[in-house]
């Protein structure tokens, strides 16, 4: 067992990184004075992993869209019942999620931590699928997919991703389609579990009220090494630099038009994307954050309201910056953002405004390191990006320069690589202001 301590003198906290004898990497951050503990057991399998091969495969395997999400749903069941029922006895609050890049199983608790951790490490490693249970789940997830197909908030986002990306699977709904999940059977689920739920492909991140000794004691009892390491090669996607289409519109049962306006960025690898995500978040604030002149103009004119926000989506080989909200004039919002970006690219970023945003971002990230769930999330993201020191993300902000930001603006916010997604009311009329 290998053990490394990563300490931040600035924050006064430390992370214990352990390579367990089972093959599992553990990132453990005991936080003195906290009453709760948060644990996440995560595998590097997400919705974009639709093509892969191992060292034992002669060729790549193509799997149906939505298989990672389907597998997440099924993992809570086994011969002994439901994992949620086991958690109910310890009082822990448990959940799971599938993103584009990973699947995570998690819980939060105030006591009986060791018992809850044992449940987590046990059920995620013991799959139980039958033909009948898979068919039942197909109906359940099929209903979920249909529900999201009618959700304006969901459709406006994925319509934007479909406009930005030609071929990358990030454009596909995480749950897949009714047609794709119909191709999933129990044998495929077992194969995906053997491949991606191998302990060398997973990480356990824990933050809050616990001790390293508790984790090691439970892991020593529950985790056994896999028979042999699995080397996973993921299929590459031929994705052009250009966007797929500049505008996509849909009508659904919404009260006010919803919009997502995004810029297609350039991938710099997993570590580069994670660091650039922070810089691009700062740029989004400079362009149209609440303290920006553009935000004030749009808000005072009634073109946007308090739902307006920004987000940077970054993963293994994709990233994009998104501006979203409600507006009766979404085209005008997109036009104003394009013009603001063009002006900043032409005239440069105001140094005083840059310093204000840099300090505000630094303060926001300091706040993240003082909460259990974000600390676990940052540890997981850094690990899968190949970054050993999660505290180095603060250095990205502290060391950011005006020249660096202007270069990011040129690379990641190209008006020629922007697209607008609008979901309008079914009886919509354009024009007007947002109340």
- Which residue in 72, 77, 118, 239 is the catalytic one? 72
Classify each residue of 15-48 as buried b or exposed e, where b means 16 or more C-beta atoms within 10 Å of its C-beta.
bbbbebebbbbbbbbbbeebebbbbbbbbbbbbb
Q: Are 221 and 123 in contact (CB under 8 A)?
A: no
Spatial CA neighbour of 138 closest among 84, 85, 93, 175: 175
Phi then psi for 336, rounded to 5 degrees? -65, -40
* CB within 8 Å of 280: residues ≥ 6 apart: 265, 312, 314, 319, 321, 408, 412
Round to whole Å and give the CA distance between 173 and 57.
27
Q: Does 373 participate in catalysis according to the annotation?
A: no
Q: Which residues pair with 43 in a beta bridge?
A: 103, 202
Q: What is the rounded CA–CA span in Å between residue 370 and residue 23?
A: 29
Least Cα distance to 118 among 95, 87, 74, 82 occurs for 87
- Please give the DSSP secondary-structure letter assigned to residue 32: T
For residue 22, give the DSSP letter: T
Residues in the chain, overall count: 435
Strand partners, 188: none
- Determine the distance from the C-alpha atom of residue 209 to the mean position of all C-alpha atoms in its chain, rounded to a whole number: 25
Torsion sign, CA atoms 298, 357, 284, 346:
positive
- DSSP H helix total and E strand total for the chain: 15, 17
Is residue 288 within 8 Å of 323, Cβ to Cβ? yes
Nearest of 66, 70, 69, 120 to residue 92 by alpha carbon: 120
Cβ atoms of 378 and 246 closer than 8 Å: no
Residues identified as active-site? 72
């Amino acid at each position: 067992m290998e053990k490394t301590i990563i300490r931040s003198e600035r924050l006064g906290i430390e992370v214990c990184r352990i390579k367990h004898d089972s093959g599992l990497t553990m990132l453990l951050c005991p936080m003195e004075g906290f009453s709760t503990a948060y644990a996440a057991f995560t595998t590097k399998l997400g919705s974009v992993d639709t093509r892969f091969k191992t060292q034992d495969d002669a060729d790549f395997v193509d799997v149906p869209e939505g298989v990672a999400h389907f597998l997440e749903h099924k993992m809570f069941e086994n011969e002994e019942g439901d994992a949620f029922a086991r958690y109910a006895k310890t009082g822990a609050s448990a959940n799971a999620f599938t993103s584009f890049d990973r699947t995570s199983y998690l819980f939060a608790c105030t006591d009986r931590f060791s018992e809850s951790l044992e449940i987590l490490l046990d059920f995620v490693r013991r799959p139980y699928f039958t033909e009948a249970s898979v068919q039942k789940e197909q109906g359940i997830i099929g209903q979920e997919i249909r529900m999201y197909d009618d959700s304006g908030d969901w459709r406006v986002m994925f319509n934007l991703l479909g406009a930005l990306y030609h071929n990358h699977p990030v454009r596909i709904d995480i749950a897949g389609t009714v047609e794709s999940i119909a191709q999933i059977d129990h044998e495929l689920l077992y194969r995906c579990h053997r491949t991606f739920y191998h302990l060398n492909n997973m990480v356990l991140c824990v933050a809050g009220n616990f001790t390293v000794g508790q984790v090691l004691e439970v892991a020593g009892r529950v985790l056994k090494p896999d028979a042999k390491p699995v080397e996973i090669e993921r299929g590459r996607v031929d994705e052009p630099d250009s966007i797929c289409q500049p505008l996509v519109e849909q009508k659904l049962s919404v009260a006010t038009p919803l919009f997502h306006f995004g810029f297609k960025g350039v991938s710099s690898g997993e570590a580069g994307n994670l660091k650039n995500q922070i810089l691009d978040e700062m740029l989004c604030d400079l362009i149209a954050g609440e303290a920006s002149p553009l935000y004030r103009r749009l808000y005072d004119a009634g073109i946007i309201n308090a739902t307006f926000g920004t987000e940077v989506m970054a993963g293994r080989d994709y990233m994009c910056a998104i501006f979203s909200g409600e507006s009766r004039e979404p085209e005008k919002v997109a036009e104003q953002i394009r013009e603001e970006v063009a002006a900043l690219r032409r005239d440069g970023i105001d140094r005083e405004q840059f310093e204000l945003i840099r300090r505000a971002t630094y303060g926001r990230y300091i706040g993240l390191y003082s909460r259990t769930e974000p600390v676990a999330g940052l540890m997981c993201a850094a690990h899968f990006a190949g970054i050993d020191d999660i505290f180095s993300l603060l250095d990205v902000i502290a060391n950011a320069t005006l020249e660096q930001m202007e270069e990011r603006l040129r690379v990641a916010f190209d008006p020629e690589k922007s697209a607008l997604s609008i979901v309008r009311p079914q009886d919509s009329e354009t024009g007007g202001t947002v109340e």
